[in-house]
Amino acid sequence: MTSPIPAELDPPQRLLLGPGPSMVSPRVLRAMATPLVGHLDPAFLVIMNEVQAMLRQVFQTQNPFTIAISGTGSAGMEASLVNVIEPGDTVIVGVAGVFGARMAEIVGRCGGRLVKLEVPWGQVFPKAAIEEALKKAGKVKAVALVHAETSTGAQQPLEGLGQLCHDHGALLVVDTVTSLGGVPVTVDAWGADVVYSGTQKCLSAPPGLSPLTLSPRALEVIKARQGKCPSWYLDLGMIADYWADGKRAYHHTAPITMVYALREALRIVLEEGLEARFARHRRHSQALMAGLAALGCTPNASEGHRLPSLNCVTAPPGVDEAAVRKALLLDFDIEIGGGLGPLAGKVWRIGLMGESSRQDHVVAVLAALEVLLKRAGRVQRPGAAVAAALEVYAS
């Protein structure tokens, strides 16, 4: 007996304001409908060159090795670490949320000697703490930090850390999955050596590629490995030959449609301009946070280190945050995220990333939350949250 053929695909239309994916521009969707060419077609190789050039601008780097890994941001994380770390290497990892913990897990799987720095979720690492760890740990291969911790809404300062790591003979590895294209990512100014991101957050393309850039210093470390990279698919030495202009040695079949999507998404970022884009993310975050404060929410991340792209707040006292999120999705077609790990059941994570970072989206989610909190008896007269946000826009 055969199963019935499913109906034509017709998912619901959602407003994506969670921790990712973000909304995608119709321009990007149209680019994805472009007919395929082969992954070694000369026309596609030109497109790869264009993507690399635009990624350098968005990463704010001159690194020749700037590519898009075939895989999501987690593939970029794994590629960054498995290529640099060999068994016995000492690696300092800052763990202040889910993604720092994931880095630490990968270091262990590589056979590295993990030195874990920890602060409460929502806080960041002072430069002095990293310097002390470097002094105590002896010979360190790399320091790995999350610039934008998606699970907490915290933004790690990185100024001066590249030079600090280099002074101790270490590489600086940085996760910018939730920051690239939404807040300043200045790879060369930071002195960062290995930096990766994802396409589905502030770049507003579908998930499926991981932008990655390597400094010449990092490339030398990879070339000097004693043994082969344990991952064939993520071996950056081999992938480099595929992305190298004039070489283009076959490694794997690239996700051509996703490269089209990333190309158009990067065009949108650069047309807007990086500074204008960063200012837009800050403006809408300020309005959202003002509205959430009027509902009794408090920021999770410490003052001065809050991400405008991912706004993490405690739910109002006495509110079933999961029930509110469920009703938001079912009644209003709005997705927001809940907490992970020790923050589960305590916080909302509201993403204003790329295409999702708009005034009408801020007003829509605040108005919907007011309706739901009124139903729960937590708001007497809806309107205060929206008014607080509009006051920010008016000023």
The shares of helix, strand and coil residues in the chain, as percent rounded to the nearest 5, are 45, 15, 40
Domains and CATH numbers, the chain: 26-270 (3.40.640.10), 274-394 (3.90.1150.10)
The answer, yes or no, to whether residue 245 has pLDDT greater than 80, is no
Q: How confident is the model at residue 381 (pLDDT cuts 50, 70, 90)?
A: confident
The answer, yes or no, to whether residue 246 has pLDDT greater than 80, is no
Residue 333: CB partners within 8 Å, gap ≥ 6?
12, 13, 14, 15
Find the helix packing angle between 98-109 and 73-84, rounded to 10°. Answer: 40
Q: Using one digit for the tens of pLDDT, what is the confidence trace for 77-112?
A: 999 999 999 999 999 999 999 999 999 999 999 999
pLDDT for 235 equals 95
8 A C-beta contact, residue 167 and residue 118 = no
Residue-by-residue DSSP string for 35-80: PP--TT-HHHHHHHHHHHHHHHHHHT---S-EEEEES-HHHHHHHH
CB neighbour class for 395 (10 Å; exposed up to 12, middle 13-18, buried from 19): exposed
Residue 122, classed as helix, strand or coil, is coil
8 A C-beta contact, residue 378 and residue 318 = yes
* Mean confidence (pLDDT) of the chain: 96
Residue 139: CB partners within 8 Å, gap ≥ 6?
90, 169
Q: Using one digit for the tens of pLDDT, what is the confidence trace for 54-72?
A: 999 999 999 999 999 999 9
